[in-house]
Structure 1
Amino acid sequence: MKQFLLYVFLLTGLTAMAQDKGIHFERELSWKDIRAKARKEGKFIFMDCYTTWCGPCKMMSRDIFPQQAVGDFFNGKFISVKVQMDKTAGDDAAVKRWYDDAAAIAREYNVMAYPTFLYFAPDGRLVHLVVGGDSAAAFIASSAQALDPATQYYTRMETMAKNAGNQPDTLKRLAEEARKMYDGRYTALFLQRYLHAVPDIFAPDVVDFLDRFTLSSHDTGFTIFRKNPAKINQVKGARYAENRVQQIIFVEEVYSAPQEGANAGFRPIQAKLKKKYPELTGIVIDKFRLQWYQRNKAYDQFEKAVKVYLKQYNQQLDPRDLSSFARTVGQYATDTAMLRTALSWSERAVKEDPHAETMSVQALLLYKLGDVPAAVRLQETVVNELSAGIANKYKREYQQKVLDKMKGGEKL
């Protein structure tokens, strides 16, 4: 028993020594306490904003933070704290105590990616930003910039904001620079100033620029696209604005929600959508239902629902959705009439959005309907469309295999 206790004592001591080598993170203090301690001790604050699903976040915690050199650099200069930005069922009491502060930090500093490392001066001012995992040496070097006003990212951007004036080109460049840094704070600020500086926010170059900066419902572009679809579509094409808005809603409200099953998954999402996007609830939840049937291979339910969906939303259909629905029919249907109906959807999708993916669906349906020569010709076009570029390598290999099966009369 004594030997066992000695082993436990030694193991505990070794673990503590290993932890002491790296960054010492405050685990019991609140955000208010962290700031008070930094002021009292005259130290900067290092904040690791992470999520439980983020691979680079785990790498930094596992491989970089525990290193002796990293601990030697940080512990004498910073009060350090880890802030979990998502919520999980396994969160302990310490993580839960930070829920409100984590949400407030994400909003106030517009955290866009993970891991995001925020650096605060002893007086509580945000002065520096680093995003993404890196080696220990590179991480120390980028963090050292937080200690010098001449190299602090936010200090420099604050100066640029004061001196930028109202020149659209300058504001556009600064917005792009902030976006590359995953700095949501100054991205939003310079984008707003750019939109106020240009004579027409619906000019093609402005709309294209705005589109690249529209990633969430909190972005300015989301509101502009939602309220002015006709003007956006004049630049980007039919139904572009509506589809862009729906994509963001799907990511934020549908795909992020637990999906326990058809009925169990639809009801809570539908209730949430009705409060936030009442005019879009119908098409979003109906599309979600179709996707659920597709994903779960519930073809009988899909076939009934897709006919209703296409009839109801005929003028609002995205060609990519049409092509996706047509592919599902091509994969599972045996009824000739249904296959011909799906072929008409596919033809419309190709006409509105002619590229390899939509054409491959049309070729599949032609083949299933017995028009092998037309299917082969179209599938050859698909393969040729994908011939250039490394990015298309695997797609081309797959489509070539489909073409070979068509030429050989094999089952797809």
Structure 2
Amino acid sequence: MAASSLRAQTKVQWYKFSEVQKLQKKQQKPIFVDVYTNWCGPCKMLDAQTFGDARVAEYLNKHFYPVKFNAEGNDTIVFQGKVYINENYDPSRAYSRNATHPFAGYFAVQGGGLAYPTTAYMDADLKHLVQPIQGFLTPQYIEPILKYFGSKAYLNKSFEDFMKDFKPEWN
């Protein structure tokens, strides 16, 4: 099968936080988090148009452990020794607005609130949230962001400096 055919079939391999914590013991990678809700229209567009793009999926799978987190879901999250449970979750409202999961606050923009979708980037040690970015992102818009964090350029240069030399490939 041709490489282009394989690439067209590439899908994001999504994980849960519990799985990532185990995977980190075998191979360290930064974490990419898609913070979404079931009722969010832009979240569904992000899934279809951006995460459905084979180039985005291939890059995420290679350079990150991609995690999907329903900010109004009922998953029990154990993170950095603390347990997060959405005690106000209402199963009858699973596909409409529901209670916000307490762990969702971890992805709020500093000095602001939480919007859906939010994509967030975390260090491999799961101790440092590098950056939450709110809103829908096209493959072309997310490319430099993914490559900035995936290449670890963020460790030694500002995003502005990274962008001076960045050459987009996903037109």
Separation (CA, whole Å) in 1 of partners of 2:12 and 2:145: 16
The letter of the residue matching 2:14 is F
Say which of 118, 121, 125 aligns to 2:120: 118
1:36: which partner in 2? Answer: 22
Deviation at 1:104, TM superposition (A): 3.6
The letter of the residue matching 2:145 is S
TM-score, structure 2 as length reference: 0.62
1:103: which partner in 2? Answer: 101
Deviation at 1:151, TM superposition (A): 3.7
Deviation at 1:19, TM superposition (A): 8.9
Say which SS state the counterpart of residue 136 (structure 2) adopts. Answer: coil
Q: Deviations over 1:339-387 (max 9, x none)?
A: xxxxxxxxxxxxxxxxxxxxxxxxxxxxxxxxxxxxxxxxxxxxxxxxx
Say which of 67, 79, 82 aligns to 1:81: 67
Q: Deviations over 1:136-178 (max 9, x none)?
A: 121121222223222479xxxxxxxxxxxxxxxxxxxxxxxxx
The change in CA–CA distance for 1:53 and 1:107 in structure 2 (over 3 A counts) is same
The letter of the residue matching 1:60 is L
Separation (CA, whole Å) in 2 of partners of 1:103 and 1:44: 23
The letter of the residue matching 1:105 is F
2:81: which partner in 1? Answer: none
The change in CA–CA distance for 1:127 and 1:152 in structure 2 (over 3 A counts) is farther
Please list every run of 5 or more consecutive structure 1 residues that lacks an aligned counterpart in the other structure.
1-16, 88-94, 154-412
Say which of 132, 136, 141 aligns to 1:133: 136
2:14: which partner in 1? Answer: 25
Say which SS state the counterpart of residue 108 (structure 1) adopts. Answer: helix
Q: Percent identity?
A: 24
The letter of the residue matching 1:123 is D
The letter of the residue matching 1:22 is K
Contact 1:44 1:78 in 2 (8 A): yes
Deviation at 1:36, TM superposition (A): 3.4
Deviation at 1:132, TM superposition (A): 1.0
Say which SS state the counterpart of residue 76 (structure 1) adopts. Answer: helix
Say which SS state the counterpart of residue 83 (structure 1) adopts. Answer: strand
Say which SS state the counterpart of residue 52 (structure 2) adopts. Answer: coil
The letter of the residue matching 1:139 is I
TM-score, structure 1 as length reference: 0.28
Separation (CA, whole Å) in 1 of partners of 2:118 and 2:8: 22
Q: Deviations over 1:99-145 (max 9, x none)?
A: 72882422334351111111111111211222111211211212222
Structure 1 residue 69 corresponds to structure 2 residue 71: no
Q: Deviations over 1:10-53 (max 9, x none)?
A: xxxxxxx7995132112xx4x24313323531111111000122
Say which SS state the counterpart of residue 65 (structure 2) adopts. Answer: strand
Q: Which has the higher strand share?
A: 2
Say which of 34, 41, 59 aligns to 1:48: 34
Contact 1:50 1:84 in 2 (8 A): yes
> Which of structures 1 and 2 has the bigger CA Rg?
1
2:147: which partner in 1? Answer: 144
Separation (CA, whole Å) in 2 of partners of 1:152 and 1:109: 20
Separation (CA, whole Å) in 2 of partners of 1:109 and 1:133: 15
Separation (CA, whole Å) in 1 of partners of 2:24 and 2:63: 10
The change in CA–CA distance for 1:130 and 1:120 in structure 2 (over 3 A counts) is same
Separation (CA, whole Å) in 2 of partners of 1:39 and 1:75: 17
Deviation at 1:97, TM superposition (A): 4.6
Which protein has greater RCO, CA pairs closer than 8 Å, 6+ apart? Answer: 2
Task: Report how many aligned residue pairs link the two structures.
Answer: 127
CA RMSD, Structure 1 to Structure 2 (Å): 2.9
Contact 2:107 2:132 in 1 (8 A): no
Separation (CA, whole Å) in 1 of partners of 2:103 and 2:147: 22
Separation (CA, whole Å) in 1 of partners of 2:107 and 2:25: 20
Q: Deviations over 1:277-322 (max 9, x none)?
A: xxxxxxxxxxxxxxxxxxxxxxxxxxxxxxxxxxxxxxxxxxxxxx
Contact 1:49 1:116 in 2 (8 A): yes
Separation (CA, whole Å) in 2 of partners of 1:19 and 1:38: 28
The letter of the residue matching 1:116 is T
Please list every run of 5 or more consecutive structure 2 residues that lacks an aligned counterpart in the other structure.
1-5, 78-83, 87-99, 161-171
